[in-house]
Amino acid sequence: MDRSSMIVVRAFSRHATAPATVRRACGVASVVSPMPLLVNHLDLVLAQPLSLEVLRRLAMNFVVPYLVSSYSSARAALALEESS
């Protein structure tokens, strides 16, 4: 990886882990994640007891929207940074 790519990766990481980005991504994931959980896994949630595999699936319903939101925020911040 060349030097300019490393600079972009560092800037992206800085934006993706910024407190405002983390808060925003958690908020988005908290709103979005129950939807696929209810559609795809309601039978697993209602079945008792919950196994580690089911808990892993449920956690992924939060992780995916979180990552998409933080990626989008970081890309937007980079675009603003580059246009200045």
pLDDT of residue 36: 84
Which residue matches tokens 């079945």?
47
Better-scored residue on pLDDT, 35 or 21: 21
| Tens-place pLDDT, residues 37-76 | 888 878 877 877 878 888 888 888 899 999 999 999 999 9
Q: Long-range contacts for 6-10 (Cβ within 8 Å, ≥24 apart)?
A: 8/78
pLDDT of residue 46: 84
Residue closest to 18 by CA, chosen among 77, 65, 81? 77
